[in-house]
Structure 1
Amino acid sequence: MTLAPPPPLSSPSAVRLRLVPQPAQGHIARRIDGVWWPQSPDLASELPGLLGVLPHAWGQVTSVLVDEAVWSPFPGRLLVANQVVRLRRTTTQRSPSTVCLLAPGRGRWDLLVVPPAATNAEAGRLMESMAAVVRDRVGLGVAVR
């Protein structure tokens, strides 16, 4: 199996992501850890930017599981910041779509995916509704990256 060449890195400021804050020590397991709104359905070009802005405490993400229906065709592996990231797809359609990030020895993080074609208003509503659910369930605010 060949690796896809690394795509150009997107600017970290261009990554539209909201994360649920974690305590200073440890990790609180939760069903959803944040919301990501990619710019396009091209996973190979979007993923490096996302992985580049994740908290260092999450460790090195080595495997990503995504809903196949959201993304254009993508390779099984991708070189990101000189590290191989395995890309897996699921044909199970979920609404809303998610991306699952796995870091060996560190944990699993699940992000809701706002469809890339969503308008600013639609995406804003989805991101705010996730923030409200998290605040109600956990009593925490949401960090914006």
Structure 2
Amino acid sequence: MTLAPPSPLSSSSGVRLRLSAQLAQVHMPRRIDGAWWPRSTDLTSELPLLLGGLPPGWGHVSSVLVGEAVWAPFPGRLLVADQVVRLRRTTSRQAPSTVCLLAPGRGRWDLLVVPPGATEAEAGCFMDSMDTVTKTA
């Protein structure tokens, strides 16, 4: 297990995140819940900022599933704010780059990942278009 570097765990921590409005979707393809623009491909330094910037109602995220192509090597577990978060990779190349956050008893949230090297204009377009992206459940 790796310890996350200390960071303020609040929405003022500098996380670049845009969340979509939560709409009830019965029998519809699962919508993307937001977009995240990390500053690097180092998941161990970026994830604490992301988790710290999430709404408190999302609860404790205990498991994170990320696309294989985006991230530098990372451990299987990470200690974030005194809680263990399990990290897993997916090799699926059919969906856009996403991060899946799982919180037991609270739910699942899927965020599009804006490439860290994107310009501000590119990231803005990417984040603005997230509401039109859906994926199958």
- Smaller-chain TM-score bracket: 0.7 to 0.9
Displacement of 1:17 in angstroms is: 0.4
Structure 1: any 5+ residue segments left out of the alignment? 138-145
Q: Does 1:125 align with 2:125?
A: yes
Residue equivalent to 1:31? 31
Q: How far apart are the structure 2 equivalents of 1:33 and 1:70?
A: 19
Question: Structure 1 residues 123 and 71 mapped into 2: Cα distance closer, same or farther (>3 Å)?
Answer: same
Residue equivalent to 2:85? 85
- Give the helix-richer structure, 1 or 2: 1
Describe the SS at the equivalent of 2:116.
Answer: coil
**Conservation of the 8 A alpha-carbon contact between 2:48 and 2:80:** yes
Deviations 1:79-138 (A, max 9, x none): 00000000000122245200000000111000000000111111111011124x27xx9x
Displacement of 1:31 in angstroms is: 2.0
**Conservation of the 8 A alpha-carbon contact between 2:11 and 2:54:** no
Query: Percent of pairs identical after alignment?
Result: 70
* 1:34-49 pair list within 5 angstroms: 34-49=34-49
Displacement of 1:7 in angstroms is: 1.5
Structure 2: any 5+ residue segments left out of the alignment? none
Describe the SS at the equivalent of 1:70.
Answer: coil
Displacement of 1:6 in angstroms is: 2.0
Matching residue's letter, 1:126: F
TM-score between the two structures when normalised by the length of structure 2? 0.85
Q: How far apart are the structure 2 equivalents of 1:96 and 1:40?
A: 18
Matching residue's letter, 1:121: A
- Off by >3 Å, runs of 4+ in structure 1: 10-13
Aligned residues: 128
Q: Does 1:9 align with 2:26?
A: no
Provide the alpha-carbon RMSD of the alignment.
Answer: 1.9
Question: Structure 1 residues 95 and 117 mapped into 2: Cα distance closer, same or farther (>3 Å)?
Answer: farther
Q: How far apart are the structure 2 equivalents of 1:38 and 1:62?
A: 19
